[in-house]
Structure formats: structure tokens, C-alpha cells
Structure 1
Amino acid sequence: MNLSLTRIAPTPSGYLHLGNAYSFLVTKALAEKHGAKILLRIDDLDRERYRTEYVEDIFETLDFLEIKIDLGPRNLQEFEAEWSQIHRVGKYQDALSTLRQDLKVFACDCSRKKIQQLDSSGYYLGQCIDRRFSLDKPEVAWRMDTMEADYVKFTEYPDLPKKALIPQDSAFYVVRKRDGLPAYHLTSVIDDLHFGVDLIVRGSDLYSSTLAQLDLARHLGEAGFEKIIFHHHPLVKGPKQEKLSKSDGVTSIQSLRKEGKTLKDIKAMVGLEG
């Protein structure tokens, strides 16, 4: 297997936790195994939750975990000046224009509360397709019409061919948010293609995201995205088997470091001794 570039792609919306550390360390291990380089890509388009202290925490955590970054920013100043997603907004807008021209998207003004009211599952089931709002209407999100979505194919690490349909929790996924900014699925696809990533390591909770992004890349005519290898690792759970959250300061790497925990301690806590 010939892999050249993987990535670590945190969001500066809180202090990184044990789950992030586990994912980063798994990424490092696979990169070392295959001689691949590591890109640091910080996903910072959620400007409401963006804080410079969270960006600083990313660099501090990578240093603490002894993870060497081969491509990407080395500090906050470099990140904001050269590597922020803000500098790639033009690429995202080009992709949105392609989707619009090909009539792949529809406008939706549903809030999370309204979606919950429309269906108790909490899943969005395409209720706005027939409402035919203008895509230029204020405060609308752009969603992909997945009514006739076909199987997507990909390779699960190391070499397992897979195909799957987009599940309900990712159907009609958002590509442009209600504030007009490109959404996560679109920016992630465009960035991975832009930098030439060929190995994506992410938690099993993002499996549905992988399927949505493969579908999106196909609509954008980016066949190369299907050639990326994906590794969906198990999640690190909390004491009550809950998914870890950045809002839970107890499991943050920052707080654990302040308690005197070492890298060896962190590896033991996430089951990566040795």
C-alpha cells in the first residue's frame, strides 16, 4: 500500500479531549507505518465558536503528544495568516456554484427545533424539497437532494472494498449553512482534494459523514475522492460509556496535563500502551 499524506483536522471550538488524542495518535501510527506525511488542517469556519485559545491548544496538544506535523501551520500566527479555511473560501464557493448550476441543491429554512417537531427521529427527511424556496432567500441552508442517491464505493483500511447507501442521519446533508458559509461536508471534501490527502482517519461516529462526502465528491465530478483510504476507529468513551465532548472539561488534554499526566499516562488511558 502506497500512502503519501494523511491529516489531523481538529475544530477550534473547545479544548481537545482524550478522544481527539486517541484519533491523533492512531493517525500518527498509521502515517509512520506507511511512510506518509501528516497535514494539520484546522477547520475554523464555525466563526461563532472560534477562539484563538482553542487554536493554541491544538499546537500545545500536538507537542505534548509528540506528533510531528509535516505540512500546515506551526503556530497561531502562521495559521491565521496562511492556513485558515478563510483563505480557501473561493474554492468552496466555486463548488457551491457547480452544485447550484447542476440543480443538485435545494433551500431549507428549518431550524433544529423545527426538524425535531417535523419528525421525532430528529432526522431531516427532505420536507423543504417541494417548497421550492429560492436559493437566494435570506437565512436558508442549501441541502443536497439525496432522494435518488446511489451506492457509494470506498476502501476501508487497509484494503477492504465497501459500498453503502447514505443513511437517514446524513440524508439531505447541508453544503451551505444558513449564515451563508460553506458547511463541513463541502469544506472537508474540497480541502482533502486540494491538499492531496489519500488516508483519512476518523472516529466511527463519522462513518455517515464519509458516505455523505463520497456522494458529494461524485456530484462535484471529483472521482479522485473515491480513491482515498478511510479508517474509522472505535471511539474513546467516558465513564458512563458516553461519547466524549469538548464541553466536558474533565477529559480535556489541557486539564489532564495540569494534573501532571504524562504522554504515557494518556496512551494508557486510551488503550494505546507501549
Structure 2
Amino acid sequence: MQKLQLPAPITRFAPTPSGFLHIGNVYSFLITWLLARKNNGQILLRIDDLDQERVRPEYVENIFRTLEWLGLDWDLGPSSVEQFEKEFSQLRRMELYEAALQKLENEGAVFGCDCSRKLVKKLIEAHNYEGICQHKGLELHGPDISWRLKTEGMAVVQMKRFKNDTTVEKLSYAQSHFVVRRRDGIPAYHLASVVDDVHFGVNAIVRGEDLFESSVAQLYLAQKLGLGTFSHAEFFHHPLILDGGVKLSKSQRSSAVLDEFSQDKAKLFRKLGGWLGLQPEACGSLDEMLKQFSFERVARTNSH
């Protein structure tokens, strides 16, 4: 198997407690676990709970129960719901996020926006979004104002990838002038994710291939924030698993793993192993998967 370039990889599970973990989550976590263990790396459990309106205690509990049931262990982060809430919730790192936002404000790298998400989405889909609020001079700290990053011009980003490094010369239209601070004042996902990864020393990031553009946006944001260490992180974007042509996700109400496979973990492992390109006899346990796993063999099949 091709090895990671990093001498001491640190990767992470980064679930959002806005629903129960489904098989798509588990597929990504399994790849993360196998890559880390194959490369003598460490795994951080980072639960992204900034969006408190969507967080439910049962969803947080489900993260721990599912990972423990699967046998996917981790090395860093909380070992229980209680420790997560007391020490590792993103709410405990608000000062770090606010410092990053302050830096962007001080450098004039953001502008205020009062556009609705619906309008911006419509303009992006029409390839006609140019940051229409950028020249309105809206007060950043006014009510109901989001902060968007100025992304006009060339945005050359170097991305270290598991096989071949990539140079991206321009952000995608979908990521044009992306939000770094929401209208309610909460730091947006891209900013919090970058700050967290740097804070915890994460340098190997496993994501679905649908998040490639998000990775580029975060590398660009890290440049703006002067967080050079993030540019050395190694990215692995894995194929997606689709259900009837639709990406598995909480928003699509994909079935919770513990509901669907609680009585037959072996069936789940066979399904996951097949997606990873492993033979059935290599899917009986995590140890057997670890012996046979290699990125080169990850199945390109993305439907079931």
C-alpha cells in the first residue's frame, strides 16, 4: 500500500450531532480508521456542535454508541458525552474562532452581506454571483449581517493529496465569497473547521469526494488567516456511496446504522468491505480489514 507522506499523521472523525450516524458516515470513518492505523497515526474525535439549534443530546450519545459498537477507537478527544460537553464542545473554543474572525476583519478580508441564502444559491447556480454586497458598505456588526470572505481574483491553492498533489487556480463558483460568520454571529463551518484542525494538529483529512471544493476553500481561508501548517495537511477524498442515485446523508433521512444493522454487524462489515474492494473473507473483523486494506483497492462502485 502507498503510505502517507506524513511522518506522524493525525486525522479525525468529525461528525455533526444533527442526526443519527448512517452507513455513509461509517464508511468514511472506517476509511479514516484504516488509514490511520495502517500508518501508525492518531485519530481525534471532533464533534462539530456549533449549530446548537440542530444538536440533540440523543445524537451526541449516538456518536459514542455507534463508534464503540463498531470498534472504531480513537486516540484524542472526549471519551464520553460528559467529557465532550465539559471540555471538547466547539462552544469551548469560541475565543479561537473569534480571534480568527477579528484577524479577517482587521485585514479587510471580509464584507457584510444581507442577502438571503436562497438568493445567493440562485445566483451561484446561474454562475452570476459576484458578491453583490461587497460594495454596499454594510456595517459588519450590524443586525442580521453575515460575513463573507473576499475571494475575487486568482486564488491559487496547493493541495497535498494521497496520490498526487493538486494545484487549483480558482475557487469554484459554489465557494465564491463563502460565509465565515453567520447572520446570527456564529462562526461558519469552514472557519471553525480550519481553526479546529490547526488547534488539534490535524494533518491528514479524509472526506467524501463531494467535499473537494470545500477542501480548496478551507486551504484558501487558511492562507488568509496565516495558518501555514494547514497547507501541509494531506487530503484523501474517497468515492461516495449512493442510495438510488442519492448521496447518503442525514438530510435525506438515511437509516441510522444502529437501527439497520444492530442484529447483524457481520452483514454491515461485508457491505463496507465490498465498497473498499476487499474480498468477503477479509471482512469478518476490523483486524482482517486492516491487513488487506489499501487505498488503491477502494472500490469505485458508488451505488447499492
CA deviation after TM superposition for structure 1 residue 3, in Å = 3.1
Aligned residue identity for 2:28: S
Measured in 2, the distance between the counterparts of 1:221 and 1:206 equals 22
2:199 corresponds to 1:194? yes
Return the match for 1:16 from 13, 18, 21: 21
For 2:242, what is the secondary structure of its paired residue? Answer: coil
Q: 1:22 to 1:123 in 2, by over 3 A?
A: farther
- For 1:225, which of 216, 222, 230 is the aligned residue? 230
1:87-236 aligned at under 5 Å gives the runs 87-118=92-123, 120-121=125-126, 124-158=129-163, 160-164=164-168, 165-236=170-241
TM-score normalised according to structure 1 size: 0.94
1:27 correspondence with 2:32 = yes
Equivalence for 1:36: 41
Superposition deviation, residue 161 in structure 1: 1.6
Report whether the alignment pairs 1:82 with 2:87.
yes
Residue 248 of structure 2 is matched in structure 1 by 244
Work out the CA distance in 1 between the residues paired with 2:147 and 2:51: 16
Amino acid paired to 1:110 = C
In structure 1, what is the Cα distance between the partners aligned to 2:254 and 2:267?
A: 15
**1:94/1:119 Cα in 2 relative to 1: closer, same or farther (>3 Å)?**
closer
Distance 1:26 1:108 in 2: 38
Label 1:197 to 1:116 Cα distance change in 2 as closer, same or farther (>3 A): closer
CA 1:116/1:175 → structure 2, altered by over 3 Å: closer, same or farther?
closer
Alpha-carbon contact 1:25-1:65 (below 8 Å) kept:
no
Matches within 5 A, 1:253-268: 253-258=257-262, 260-262=263-265, 264-268=266-270
Where 2:216 maps in the other structure, the secondary structure is: helix
Contact 1:105 1:144 in 2 (8 A): yes
Mapped contact 2:124–2:174 kept (Cα < 8 A): no
- Provide the secondary structure at the position in 1 that maps to 2:165: strand
CA positional deviation for 1:215:
0.5
Distance apart, 1:268 and its partner CA: 2.6
- Output the CA distance in 2 between the equivalents of 1:71 and 1:77: 15
State the distance in 2 between where 1:235 and 1:194 align.
28
Tell which deviates more after alignment, 82-91 or 162-171: 162-171
In structure 2, the CA distance between the partners of 1:81 and 1:211, relative to structure 1 (3 Å rule), is same
| Stretch of structure 1 that moved more, 110-119 or 54-63 | 110-119
Aligned length: 270
Q: TM-score if structure 2 supplies the norm length?
A: 0.85
Q: How far off its partner does 1:116 sit? A: 4.3
Q: Structure 1 vs Structure 2: percent identity of aligned residues?
A: 44
**CA separation of 1:81 and 1:122: change in aligned 2, threshold 3 A:** farther
Distance 1:123 1:42, change over 3 A: farther
2:73 paired residue number? 68
| Aligned residue in 2 for 1:45 | 50
Looking at structure 1, the residues matched to 211 and 124 of structure 2 have their Cα atoms a distance apart, in angstroms, of: 22
Contact 1:115 1:122 in 2 (8 A): no
Inter-partner Cα distance in structure 1 for 2:130 and 2:52 = 28
Is the Cα contact below 8 Å between 1:3 and 1:199 reproduced in 2?
no
- Gaps (5+ residues) in structure 1? none
Q: Kindly tell me: are residues 176 and 40 of structure 1, through their superposed partners in 2, closer, same or farther at Cα, counting changes over 3 Å? A: same
| Structure 2 CA distance for aligned equivalents of residues 125 and 157 of structure 1 | 33
Calculate the aligned-residue CA RMSD, in Å: 1.6
Q: Which whole-Å deviations, capped at 9, do the CAs of 1:52-104 have from their partners, x for residues lacking one?
A: 11011100111122111100111111100000000100000000000000000
